[in-house]
A and B are shown apart, each in its own frame.
Chain A
């Protein structure tokens, strides 16, 4: 297993377009988190899944954002009608209780909205 995988790594899109990011967590990790990070800031929590259930969403996640984890494995984060303020890095992380809740991060997906 090579860790948490995210793709695409970079996405440039025009304002108003939809984008989708995918996260493949470490196998058997039942907890999956999405964070957003803008330049010069620490990451901010967006949403959390335990298996396929989305158990928490931040107020940062507007109606244009939707996340799914349909089979409790990979997850997708879709942004509809992108705005320039959505430009950020979207980070995925996963963890599993018996590994002491150490959190493993992906490399992130950079979004630039032009």
Chain B
């Protein structure tokens, strides 16, 4: 079983819809990351969370440490939001940078139609 599970794997929405992508993990973490990957490869970090909620523009990320669950919400979705959204965890604080290496989910392919 993967340490990081995302759902759904694929999501198709109409422009303007509210979108939710879920991420569950099975181990203690220091931080959870939401990342965006467009076709062609490049990955952009959207959020890094250790508790609570963060908002950036139309994107909102929440995390429940006790439940080991995080959600990424997109309000008023737009075709340019179409991408793969990836949840990743890092396992520990401490001085060792290897604690910050990421374990990734498989990603959620979001397609927003006009």
Contact surface of A with B, Cβ cutoff 8 Å: 30-31, 33, 35, 37, 40-45, 48, 50, 55-56, 89, 91, 93, 95, 97, 100-108, 110
Contacts and interface: CB of A to CB of B under 8 A. Distances in A.
A100 B45 CA distance: 13
Contact of A41 (B33, B103, B106): B106
B106 A42 contact: yes
A5 to B, nearest CB: 11
B40 A102 contact: no
Given A45-B102, A48-B101, 7 more contacts: A31-B100, A35-B102, A37-B41, A43-B43, A43-B86, A56-B98, A107-B41
Interface residues of B, number: 25
Nearest to B107: A42
A31 B42 contact: no
Contact of B42 (A48, A100, A108): A108
Contacts of B44: 105
In terms of DSSP, what is the predominant structure of the interface of chain A?
strand
In terms of DSSP, what is the predominant structure of the interface of chain B?
strand
A35 to B, nearest CB: 8
A55 to B, nearest CB: 5
Interface of B: 4, 31, 33, 35, 40-45, 48, 86, 88, 90, 96-98, 100-107
A44 B104 contact: yes
B42 A42 contact: no
A31 B97 contact: yes
Nearest to A9: B41
Nearest to A40: B106
Contact of B100 (A37, A42, A43, A101): A101
B34 to A, nearest CB: 12
A71 B110 CA distance: 40
B98 A103 contact: no
A42 B98 contact: no
B96 A55 contact: yes
B45 A103 contact: yes
Closest 6 A-B residue pairs measured CB to CB?
A: A42-B104, A108-B41, A105-B43, A56-B98, A107-B42, A31-B97
